[in-house]
Amino acid sequence: MKTNNQGNDTLNKKIKRIGVLTGGGDCPGLNAVIRAIVKTAHHEYDIEIIGFEDGYEGLIEGRYRKIDLRDASGILAQGGTILGTSNRADPFRFPVLQNDGYVYLDRSSQGVLNYEKLGLDALIAIGGDGTMGASAGMIEKGLPIIGVPKTIDNDLVGTDVTFGFDSAVITATDAVDKIHTTAQSHHRVMFVEVMGRYAGWLALCSGLAGGGDIILLPEFSYDIEAICDQVRTRNAQGKNFSIVVVGEGAKPVGGEMVVQRTVKHSPDAIRLGGVSHAVAAQVEELTNIECRVTILGHLLRGGSPSAFDRVLATRLGVEAVRMAAKGESGKLVVLKNNRMDSIPIAEVAGKIRTVTPDDNLVRTAQSLGICLGFAQGESPEKYYDPVQTAPRQGQEDN
């Protein structure tokens, strides 16, 4: 089986059957992509769609079903994924439960065999960095895969934005808006912790949109004294409350990220979370101002996708089918300057798109007087300490 851009033979071949799966953590917009794939395949190409259940688990274990127009009806605004998903189904490190616990086996060849048995002409994999990492490996084994970028973290390289991010920003911003009223009423410092793992896009955008006074990002180590100075300055100005938006991967200068727990049977054992409690305790002790913490967690994944995400997910799904029909593979569909484009999945796998010191959003926050964990006037580069690559072997997200 040939891979990546399989040439004129594939271009001249009538594509009859395409597989689709959703991998990693769920997010708003997954069903919108599935809907777009099914409708485009039916109306433009008369292609049959086979949906694998629970991501790469379904491909490896042979769990699949035909997805037709009836299945795609009424799901545009529905959260989650009708196919189910898994954040531990790495084909090359597949967890198998035995008497004494989990063992990890390379089941990628079984995935290839199941693909071939079904007579598929292409596979559309919808997911984030972990799904694309697994897909890159399966491409090397011969599967013609097209990727669709999904994650609330917005940390996939090569695309301007991932679907799911806008919906999560709206949910987080709404929470920050509501926190404002109790912060003002009780004269407190209120911490709102959001997901994002090793990238601060969600914290930065929801902090800006929600009027956060302090925003802590994984990319910039924070100085606790700078945070306290910002709180004290606001109080001295008669602003007797502060809102702190915190990315779950934030860490102090010279310190480490806070690990909430580890999951032994997951390809990525680390689960971040709870850094806000540590920062709040320090701020309360150093300023004598009452602090409270709200951790949004998986709330950010739920609910109906925003209008922006519905449109973006639809565009990505349509383009993925068009690429498959043309015989293209080994690529990720991306949004570049509001146009559909594509890049090799191999260029995405194992990488993270993080907030950089020269990003316009960073400069915007500084211009507004927002504290990013260091004193006003100090260079962001001094505190810049990002995770450069995805520290995982398999699927992504919490």
3-class secondary-structure state, position 272:
strand
Look at strands 48-52 and 64-67 and give their pairing: antiparallel
| Residues 338, 127, 4, 387, CA torsion sign | positive
3-class secondary-structure state, position 132:
helix
3-class secondary-structure state, position 238:
coil
Q: Degrees (nearest 5) of the Cα angle 5, 8, 11?
A: 75
CA distance 380 to 361: 12
The gap from C-alpha 129 to its chain's centroid, in whole angstroms, comes to: 8
Which phi and psi (to 5°) does residue 329 adopt?
A: -160, 175
Question: Exactly one of 129, 153, 223, 397 is catalytic; which is it?
Answer: 153
Look at strands 122-127 and 145-149 and give their pairing: parallel
Catalytic residue flag (residue 153): yes
3-class secondary-structure state, position 381:
helix
Q: Please give the structure tokens belonging to residue 95.
A: 């967890």
Q: What is the DSSP string of 32-61?
A: HHHHHHHHHIIIII--EEEEETTTHHHHHH
Residues that are catalytic? 153
